Amino acid sequence: MELQHSKNLSNKLNLEQHSLLEKVIQLNSLANRLESQTKYNEALTKAQAALESLEVAKQNLSPVSSLIDIEIQVLANTGKITRILGNYSSAEQYYLKAINLAQSQRIEQHSILLSMLNDLAVVYKYWGKFDAGEQIYQTLLNTLIKQYGEQSHFVATIYHNYAGLEHSRFNYEKAEPLARKSYEIRQNVCGKEHPDTIADGAALGSILHGLGKWDEAVKLFEKAITFFDNPSNYQPYEVAVNLNNLAASLQAKGEFLPAEKAYRRALSIKKTVFGDEHPDIAVTLNNLAILLKEQEQRPEAKSILKEALRIFEKTVGSQHPQTILCKKNISSLS
């Protein structure tokens, strides 16, 4: 979220107060730019500095609504960055505080509130709190379809994310119609070559993989990789995710060598984006290890699974479904 300087707020401020708010706005804008450049740790530092500066500003300013608007946006931005970095507990707290502030405001905050509820549900998906995320998505769908109709970019986003949540808890039969609905709406609203449409197709591919429809899944993953690996559309995280998913479908088809190559490239890109300790790193390590096990490379597979388990336990905890699955995979090698 990019902060917009309010004329009404400017009129209420003296020079010193104006300087305090400008510092918050500049720090938050810098955090946004760094996040868009995948410099997540630097982005978090700037976002947290924006929050600290905001606390100083609040001590020197009366609580006008425009100041609360700025606080909502800085909190939501910090929540997004901490979620990307895998710190789901902190992300939840930032979003809950922002949502509570938004709910205290008038209808002008409505679209911002809905967006933040969606973002909180994404946190719950990655955190494994699926019921909490599902409840938010069902509420959002009912609200948005009544407000905008089904052919809406935002409605497509909720279908996409809801399908992703069902995918994360391995409920592929429920996820597929949600994902197809998202893909269909996005093509109608945005066109077939829009980045969001390509991402929706790739998300559908992940669900088709779970249903054993590997040929269709491979085509969608390859299309996404080609699109996001192009310099004009380059998004390293999207490339890495789709390489990981392509590898899984190739592995399921018995094409082990191209699958291994795709897993290792996905791992390299993810480490460049996130560093060495992030749940997404552990996901690809786990998948690579299973492939190596199928090729009877058991010692390397076990070593890689132990590293994946260490990362899962550190980042998402011992009770997360991915952590439990990883433990089972290690036991199968004993």
- Of 8-17, 169-178, 185-194, which range is least confident? 8-17
DSSP 8-state secondary structure symbol assigned to residue 230: S
For residue 61, the model assigns a pLDDT of: 65
Contact 289, 304 (CB under 8 A): yes
Q: Is a pLDDT exceeding 50 seen at residue 281? A: yes
Q: Is 212 helix (H, G, I), strand (E, B) or coil?
A: coil
Contact 258, 214 (CB under 8 A): no
1-123 matches 128-211 in fold: yes
Higher pLDDT, 113 or 177: 177
Right CATH for 128-211 from 2.60.40.2310, 3.50.50.60, 1.25.40.10, 3.40.50.300: 1.25.40.10
For residue 57, the model assigns a pLDDT of: 80
Structure tokens, 236 = 């390293």
- Of 66-80, 96-110, 267-281, which range is least confident? 96-110
Q: Is a pLDDT exceeding 60 seen at residue 108? A: no
Tell me the pLDDT band of 14, cut-offs 50, 70 and 90: low
Domain locations along the chain: 1-123, 128-211
DSSP conformation letters of 140-190: HHHHHHHHH-SS-HHHHHHHHHHHHHHHHTT-HHHHHHHHHHHHHHHHHHH
Q: How far apart are CA 162 and CA 83, in angstroms?
A: 17
Q: Is a pLDDT exceeding 70 seen at residue 3? A: no
DSSP conformation letters of 93-128: HHHHHHHHHHHTS-GGGHHHHHHHHHHHHHHHHHHT
Higher pLDDT, 198 or 334: 198
pTM of the model: 0.76
Mean pLDDT computed over every residue of the chain:
90
Mean pLDDT, range 231-243, rounded to an integer: 94
Tell me the pLDDT band of 286, cut-offs 50, 70 and 90: very high
Higher pLDDT, 37 or 161: 161
For residue 184, the model assigns a pLDDT of: 97
Q: Is a pLDDT exceeding 80 seen at residue 7? A: no
Mean pLDDT, range 13-40, rounded to an integer: 82
For residue 59, the model assigns a pLDDT of: 79
Q: What angle do CA 140, 143, 147 make, to 5 degrees?
A: 135
Q: Is a pLDDT exceeding 90 seen at residue 327? A: yes
Mean pLDDT, range 241-259, rounded to an integer: 96
Q: State how far the alpha carbon of 31 is from the alpha carbons of 13, 68, 94, 225, 315, in Å.
A: 25, 19, 15, 27, 23
15 burial via Cβ count (<10 Å: 0-12, 13-18, 19+): exposed
Tell me the pLDDT band of 19, cut-offs 50, 70 and 90: confident
Q: State how far the alpha carbon of 304 is from the alpha carbons of 48, 255, 325, in Å.
A: 34, 21, 14
Q: How far apart are CA 210 and CA 157, in angstroms?
A: 21
Tell me the pLDDT band of 6, cut-offs 50, 70 and 90: very low
Q: Is the alpha carbon torsion for 290, 295, 298, 299 positive or negative? A: negative
Mean pLDDT, range 162-166, rounded to an integer: 96
User: Among all chains, which residue has been given the structure tokens 């990883």?
Assistant: 326
Domain 1-123 bears CATH identifier 1.25.40.10: yes
For residue 16, the model assigns a pLDDT of: 59
Tell me the pLDDT band of 117, cut-offs 50, 70 and 90: very high
